[in-house]
Structure 1
Amino acid sequence: MILPSLLIIDDFIADPLAARTAALALNYDPDNKHGNYPGHISTKPLDIQGLNERVSTIINAPVKAAPDTSHGHCRVTLKGDKGRSGVHIDPAFYSGILYLSLSEHCKGGTEFFRHKRTGLERVPTDPAAIAKAGYSDINALIEDVVNKDTTHPAKWMKVMTVPMRFNRLILFSPWMFHNSGMAFGTTPEDGRLVNLMFFAKG
């Protein structure tokens, strides 16, 4: 099964203002933070009716929520918020980000990178490509490329930014090297507000 590397779907939710209001009403308790990301994540997910079914149709593969991830949760990132990691991959079968910041506030987006030393733009998943990159197995590659260089911006070259747009959904391979774009705003109402999606095979 070959999935699209990247898809951009605009105007994804029929009533995005209602979804945004619901997202802003969630609890973003700082004590709930359990990852290396910048900003704060909601303690509960945002309910988007029929999400798994719609995404399954879009990518022509059945998906469900990936266990032990923040699938469906929202994240608020304000100017000055810092994380403990940078370029990364996701622990999922497929990833998604729904932008819920209003268009007049949107800045940046989601950034994708090439690893300078290896020339890779993603973690290859077939043994031949892994061997060609000089590694014995996928875990060795992830450790030497992603984990080793995640916090070293000079090790990466940005190849693309998918711009933020209110009610834009991007779906992409979790193996692609990526990172969130710039943080902005001073309150959740004018900051970077996104809904995170991490899918497992359905």
Structure 2
Amino acid sequence: MPAIEAATEFIINPNFTVRVKRIGLEETPVLVIDDYLANIDELRQQASKQDYCEDKQSFYPGIRSPIATKTVTALIQPVLPGFYKVLKVPNHLKPAAHPSYFSLITKQPEQLVAMQTIPHFDTSRPYYFAALLYLNEFTHGGTGFFRHKATHYERITDSKVDSYLASVQAEFDGQNGQDSHHQGYQTGSNQQYALIDSIPYQTNCLVIYPGNLLHSTLVDNNHDINEHPITGRLTANIFVEFQ
């Protein structure tokens, strides 16, 4: 990861608080860091001035703007010890920033394709992490974590990915005796997935979790589908892998 530049546009709060949640039957550790930035308004203002467009490389149901690598580095550097101590990253591995984004949800439920209506995982690789910073102050949906009922999987590792995808495809094809396709965002438990935990949207909260943990935004249709950075469900979606 590149070194942090001497002058950054925001300041880490020296008094931030850290909680560790153990998610599901696998007790996957997730870091929840409250009051992370001392001047979060600076980052919000930066995000409000960006140009946003649809991310055609992923199934993200909205628009995004890239975050500069120096900003990603500055945000992650202060919490690196947590990756090694709590998230069990081997000490010999070093962090590398992946493309990261300011993000806003804009798609209406009826506009979603099938894969956008179920929880997802970012990758099956073991030391790839998502760091999600909630930026705005308004009421918005949080982040949910799920178990796939047919396979009982919560984390989609390299050894599980093929069987998981085959099971999901069978559900979409109706091969399990039911039509599993549903319209809209996944915001709770249903026949295919159990909501096992969630972290509310609270301004200035940083949530760090393994990218192979099944997760989904718990979209509030009344407040979250909004293209405006000032009032929408604005997040900084940061991705880091240890190699």
Contact map agreement 1:39 1:83 (CA 8 A) in 2? no
Q: Which moved more, 1:144-153 or 1:191-200?
A: 144-153
Which deviations, in whole Å up to 9, do the C-alpha atoms of 1:85-111 show, x marking residues without a partner?
Answer: 231111261111111121xx1322111
| CA deviation after TM superposition for structure 1 residue 37, in Å | 1.4
Q: Tell me which structure has the larger Cα radius of gyration.
A: 2
Say if 2:224 is the partner of 1:189: no
Cα displacement (A) at 1:192: 0.6
Give 1:36's aligned amino acid.
F
The answer to whether the Cα contact below 8 Å between 2:47 and 2:229 also exists between their aligned partners in 1 is: no
CA RMSD of aligned residues (A): 2.7
**Other-structure match for 2:29:** 5
The number of aligned residues is: 181
Asked if the contact 1:115/1:121 (under 8 Å) is kept, the reply is: yes
Matches within 5 A, 1:150-169: 154-169=191-206
Q: Is there any run of 5+ residues in structure 2 with no aligned partner, and where?
A: 1-26, 173-180
The higher-RCO structure (CA 8 Å, 6+ apart) is: 1
Counterpart in the other structure of 1:144: 166
Q: Provide the identity percentage.
A: 24
- Matched with 1:90 is 122
Large movers: runs of 4+ above 4 Å: 145-153
Shift of 1:197: 1.4
Task: Identify the residue that residue 134 of structure 2 maps to in structure 1.
Answer: 99
CA contact (8 A) 2:151 2:164 kept: no
* TM-superposed deviation, 1:29: 2.5
- Structure 1 residues 147, 166: CA separation in 2 closer, same or farther (over 3 Å shift)? farther
Q: Determine the structure 1 residue equivalent to 2:175.
A: none
Aligned pairs (5 A) from 1:98-137: 98-102=133-137, 105-124=138-157, 137=159
Q: Which moved more, 1:89-98 or 1:138-147?
A: 138-147
Question: Tell me, what secondary structure is at the counterpart of 2:36?
Answer: coil
Q: CA deviation at 1:138?
A: 3.3
Indicate how the Cα distance of structure 1 residues 48 and 106 shifts in structure 2: closer, same or farther if over 3 A, else same: farther
Shift of 1:168: 0.5
Per-residue displacement from partner, 1:61-84 (whole Å, max 9, x unpaired)? Answer: 442213xxxx33111114736543
